[in-house]
Structure 1
Amino acid sequence: MTTNAPSTPLNVSVVGAGIAGLAVATALRRNGHRVQVRMLFATYLLSRDNIVLKIFESAEVKVEIGAAIVVPRNAQLVLEHLGYNKDNLRSVDFVGIETFNALGDAKTRMTAPWIEIDGKVAIMCVRSDLHGELERLATGPGEGPPAVMHLASQVVDCNTQEGFLKLSDGRVIQSDLVLGADGISSTIRTHILGYRQSSLRTGLTNCRTLMDVAKLDAEPELSWVREGVSGPRSVMTFGAPPDEYRWLFLYPCRSGTLLNFIAILNDPNQDEPGWNPIMTRADLLSKFSAYPPHFAKLLTMLPEKLPRWQLRYMPELPTWVNGHAALLGDAAHATLPTLGQGAAQAMEDAAALGVLLPLGTTRGDIPERLKVYQALRKERTERIARESHDQMIVPAERGKYLRDFELQKYVMGYNVLEAARAIFEQKFQVN
């Protein structure tokens, strides 16, 4: 237990500048934590006071990948705590889902309501709008000294016991705490575990893009996209075996002006040399050739080429923490998109770390605080990851989340801030 700890900021290095990295950067800057600044082309920053947090990102030009995202209520609680402006997300309310049997009549549908938490529902937004808002919260005006972004700073080594990071240009960064928010192919994970743990393949591919809603409005055959409850449209062949998996999932975003299009299908050749991360419109049309015209029509309006990603996930890890380093987000518990909780769980991780590492936390406190962080977060995220896997891969489990309100409450009705404050008070609060 820490008693009478001096209010000295921690030196924190966050590896990765996605949603997880920016969320935890915001949480920790609000606590007043800092880090020594080491940048190649930012001498002007060295004269500024209160530069406190460094985020290392390997890309020369930072581009947030991904079309759109669902922000459920449990993630909104974190964003509210971090001080976000919801208007900046230009979101659309997620009230329910219109589900269609792909080989049935156009009128064969099931409207599944989505639960409200505290009178609020999930929202849908363009991923880059969420990312931009988190970057504003992390680096712009606000509580605590701002985080500093470092591009072209690839991390090649990490000493978890001492908090050293070694960059590809030879620089060595000393920190009190290293946080690995570097995604499913995490470098920091290898150093925490002491071995390389690769993600696991599902044999499924995810193609996605954004479409102009105004163009869809001119097509009478696509009325099924616009009519009904505010929320996604899900089209699949119920009960199809994995080798015949076909799923269309779409939802409005950017104040209703854009439609996020997702096609998930089996892709047995992912391990072959030369696997192409681009899929053509013609390829998609052939894969969904059995779908009736009112569904296939949407595919004809896609761009000629679409990016595709292999759907992969992480097995349960023996630990997320080691000494002065910890994992969060996809680096710790990458999930499949079935429950729409990947980014939400990353934000919960960030919020938990913010609560457990207030100003006054000392360097010596960190290993124990990280163990408590893991105890709070690991079981919950692993259950959600298992559900996301089974509900996509096991035919009999598909669609369970839409029908299971208790599971929805468990996932979206959780308040990580309350849970983290309770365990902090139990473990560390001085009476």
Structure 2
Amino acid sequence: MNEDRGDLHVAIIGAGMGGLACALALAKHGIERIDVYEAASNLGFVGAGIQLAPNMGRILERLGCWESIAKEATEVKVASIRQHSDNRELGRVDFSYVRNEYGTPHMVGHRSSLAGGMYNACKEEKAITFHFNSFCDIKSWTPRPEFTVTPREGTPYDVFADVVLAADGIKSSVRPQILKELGTDAEVIDSGQSAYRIMLTREQMASDPEMLELLEADQVIRWIGERRHIIAYPISNKNIYNISSTQPDIHFASAPSATYTTRGSKTDMLDNFNDFCPLVQRMLHLVPDQDLCEWKLRVHSPLPTWVRGSVALVGDACHPTLPHLAQGAAQAIEDAGVLAVVLSMLPDRSSDSINEALRVYERVRKERAETLIDLAAASCKALHLGEGAAKEERDKQFAALKIKAGPSPDKYLDAEVQKMIMGIDIMEVARNEFLKAFGID
């Protein structure tokens, strides 16, 4: 922290994973005035399971909230790839090495536990103020960004800040404003896929010994078939079994681009996975009709920049990804860690210094995030192969994983990809890049 930086004021738009992580990281790095604006009336956390990779856990540990999150999570010891139709194991990877190799285990948990853990930690920080029911619209980008806050009930008012971080998700309102300023746009890319997210309780599974065995195991399982797969694992102290599917999108084809979710049909879901093994069938039949929601999986083309003046995009606002590498939230938290480093090292509050610090953030994060987006897409393509020579070769590669030989078609299980994701201390990278950019020895 440099005293010449003065009372830096950071405004964060959005209180999702990226916004919460940014607020907490900035406060822990000595930023004393942080305002978080959220359109929702509260942070009533919902959602299903989430993977908590070491690159995420390492940052959250530094921020002081990892212990409470990990307490309810399950440490992954094994990842298993199985043939959809007969439950036959195609490949298997031992994850127990991760804790020793990378200093933090690979875990799986509940999204509400992750978000709630960060939010509770934020509430302990005097520097952070939350403003709910608040919609934001950028008016100027530099030298001090200005934006209008429109409360759901109340009179609009203008806010000036030294830095604005737009963590307002894949439907970001700030992203198109930045791109319009640059005379470009980022095309929304339809993946052609949708997902069901399902949580079964221990009580629902209690009468089926095979299901209970899954619930008690420290493992992640993918059942893979042509154009579809299911990933599942135990969460919430093994009281919930989280199931997430990927299948061809048939319900959103004619929907407006703003629509990302719809009420799911249990009949359609069962039809979609009717050739999966009996174990999967029994689990899907347990899903209550009224509890099923379907998500459209979308990304957008890479942005030319994440930064405009003293405003920067964060998380899904700038790098939404398909879920197949289990890195969406982790990458938003990496954004937060890097932003905390570069903004806390500022020599002063000048707009030039702030813009250069945000450019360091972009240089450290943009290429890495976009590489992982590409790897997630490649994994999906490999997982969804139909019968033929390509599938036969893929399955040989999966079989070789049992003897720790060769690359994995599922990049989530690939040792070299894991090293690239888990083995980098992104905050230390940011520190070194900042020193270089600002000519500090």
Question: Once the 2 structures are TM-superposed, how far is the Cα of residue 29 of structure 1 from its aligned partner?
Answer: 1.5
Give the aligned residue type for 2:429: A
TM-score by length of 1: 0.87
Deviation string, structure 1 residues 20-58 (Cα, Å, up to 9, x no partner): 001111111223324xxxxxxxxxxxxxxxxx2111111
Give the aligned residue type for 1:110: G
Equivalent position of 1:148 in the other structure = 129
Pairing 1:118–2:99 present = no
Question: Once the 2 structures are TM-superposed, how far is the Cα of residue 189 of structure 1 from its aligned partner?
Answer: 1.1
Percent of aligned positions with the same letter in both sequences?
28
Tell me if the contact between 2:215 and 2:239 (Cα under 8 Å) persists in the aligned partners.
no
- Assess, with a 3 A threshold, how the Cα gap between structure 1 residues 150 and 119 changes in structure 2: closer, same or farther: closer
3-state SS of paired residue (2:337): helix
Please identify runs of 4+ aligned residues in structure 1 that moved more than 6 A: none
Distance in 2, matches of 1:28 and 1:87, equals 20
3-state SS of paired residue (1:357): helix
Equivalent position of 1:356 in the other structure = 342
Equivalent position of 1:410 in the other structure = 420
Distance in 1, matches of 2:29 and 2:214, equals 45
Distance in 2, matches of 1:231 and 1:429, equals 47
Distance in 2, matches of 1:33 and 1:363, equals 16
Give the aligned residue type for 2:350: R
Equivalent position of 2:233 in the other structure = 251
TM-score by length of 2: 0.85
Equivalent position of 1:219 in the other structure = 208
Distance in 1, matches of 2:69 and 2:369, equals 28
Question: Once the 2 structures are TM-superposed, how far is the Cα of residue 430 of structure 1 from its aligned partner?
Answer: 4.1
Equivalent position of 1:42 in the other structure = none
Equivalent position of 2:398 in the other structure = none
Equivalent position of 1:103 in the other structure = 85
Give the aligned residue type for 2:61: E
Give the aligned residue type for 2:28: R
Structure 1 residue aligned with 2:26, among 9, 25, 28? 28
How does 1:52-131 map onto structure 2 within 5 Å? 52-89=33-70, 90-104=72-86, 106-114=87-95, 115-116=97-98, 117-131=101-115
Tell me if the contact between 1:95 and 1:121 (Cα under 8 Å) persists in the aligned partners.
no
Tell me if the contact between 1:158 and 1:191 (Cα under 8 Å) persists in the aligned partners.
no
How does 1:270-419 map onto structure 2 within 5 Å? 270-273=252-255, 277-305=262-290, 306-358=292-344, 360-364=347-351, 365-393=353-381, 395=385, 399-419=409-429
How does 1:201-216 map onto structure 2 within 5 Å? 201-216=190-205
Distance in 2, matches of 1:196 and 1:152, equals 28
Question: Once the 2 structures are TM-superposed, how far is the Cα of residue 217 of structure 1 from its aligned partner?
Answer: 3.5
Distance in 1, matches of 2:76 and 2:331, equals 18
- Assess, with a 3 A threshold, how the Cα gap between structure 1 residues 131 and 399 changes in structure 2: closer, same or farther: same
The unaligned stretches of length 5 or more in structure 1 are 35-51
Distance in 1, matches of 2:178 and 2:432, equals 27
Question: Once the 2 structures are TM-superposed, how far is the Cα of residue 155 of structure 1 from its aligned partner?
Answer: 1.2
Equivalent position of 2:145 in the other structure = 163
Distance in 2, matches of 1:361 and 1:71, equals 35
Tell me if the contact between 1:185 and 1:198 (Cα under 8 Å) persists in the aligned partners.
no
Q: Which moved more, 1:403-412 or 1:59-68?
A: 59-68
Question: Once the 2 structures are TM-superposed, how far is the Cα of residue 135 of structure 1 from its aligned partner?
Answer: 0.8
Question: Once the 2 structures are TM-superposed, how far is the Cα of residue 428 of structure 1 from its aligned partner?
Answer: 2.8
3-state SS of paired residue (1:155): strand
